[in-house]
Each structure stands twice: as structure tokens, then as C-alpha cells.
Amino acid sequence: MLIALMTAWIAYKKAKENGRNGWLWALIAAVVFIGTQTLTVLLLGVGLEVMVVLGQAHESIVEELSAIVSVVAFVASFGASWFVFRYLDRPILEADELGGPPPPPPNFE
């Protein structure tokens, strides 16, 4: 939970530096971190249980691999947060930097 709070704090700082809504991006970063970790554990746990039910693995494999699943979930959460931070590092482009208004539609006369 501490790392999720640190992720939110870093996202808040990066968002404020680039003119974005800091509180919104802090919330997004925390949800991405916690959500990625939850989904990863859920998917890997269901996958292991399916293997046990189908007889492809022994029941003790779930307990043996629980630490590995937790590490994989943490790495996935860190990676997802890194993508959020990369997005926040990009400056917001103004209309002038985008090339101005679009060209007029073609005239087929």
C-alpha cells in the first residue's frame, strides 16, 4: 500500500509540472497500480487452479508458487505505473504546436 501511495505522489508531482490535474492523475496512478496487481494475482491464481482441476498440477503448487505470483504482480504493477509516468512526462501540446486548424474540405466543382 505504501508503494501505491508513493506512485500517487509521484504522479501528482509530474502532472502538476506539466499543467495537468494533479489529483486526478494521482488517483489514476494509484488505481492503475492496485488494479494491475489485483488482476495479475487473480488471473495467475485462476490459471493455477484450472491446472489443478484439470489434473495437470498437484494441489500444493498453488502454495509453492504464491510468492512468485506476488513478485510477478508487483513487477506488472510497477510496469503499468511506469507507462503512466511516461505519459505524464510528455508536455501538453497547444493548438499552435499541432499545426493550427485543419484545411478546408475539398471542392468538387
- Looking at this protein, which amino acid is placed at residue 77? S
- The rounded distance, in Å, linking the Cα atoms of 80 and 95 is 29
User: Any idea where the domains of the chain sit in the sequence?
Assistant: 2-89
CA–CA separation, 86 and 98 (whole Å):
20
pTM for this entry:
0.78
CB atoms within 10 A of CB 33: 25
pLDDT in tens, the chain (109 residues): 889 999 999 999 999 998 899 999 999 999 999 999 999 999 998 998 888 888 877 888 888 888 999 999 999 999 999 999 999 998 877 655 667 777 888 888 7
Is residue 79 within 8 Å of residue 42, measured between CB atoms?
Answer: no
**CA 13 from centre of chain:** 17
Counted residue by residue, the chain has a size of 109
